[in-house]
Amino acid sequence: MGTYNIPRNVKGEGRILFIFSGKSMIYTMIGGALGLPLYFICAALKLTMVGLILVGILALIGFAIGTFKIPSISILKFTKKVGGENIDDVIKRAIIFKQKRK
């Protein structure tokens, strides 16, 4: 009798807390770390809640950069070229392109 491989769903096994992949967790921590100086400035001005909100917004932006892909929108010429690629890859290529032009 032969053996057969049973397909299984392995999509969620590489994730942390069900929503974070390794890359998105790193980008979220970088975004939160960029928001910490803003938090300390706001805390010194007795605006602690505003500082926490700013840290949360920057962490959310980091999560979006690490997780989402650029949609392919037929109206916009830019998205036709990079549609379906990760946002962080497009940002990295843009930075490298700008450095080579200088």
pLDDT tens sequence across 18-51: 777 888 889 999 999 999 999 999 999 999 999 9
Contact 49, 17 (CB under 8 A): no
- The residues near 14 (Cβ < 8 Å, ≥ 6 apart) are 21, 22
Does the pLDDT at position 14 exceed 70? no
**Rounded Cα–Cα distance for residues 66 and 78 (Å):** 20
pTM of this prediction?
0.72
Query: Which among 8, 24, 30, 14 has a CA at the least distance from the CA of 64?
Result: 24
**Rounded Cα–Cα distance for residues 16 and 83 (Å):** 27
Helix ranges restricted to H, the chain? 22-44, 48-67, 77-82, 87-101
**Rounded Cα–Cα distance for residues 74 and 15 (Å):** 32
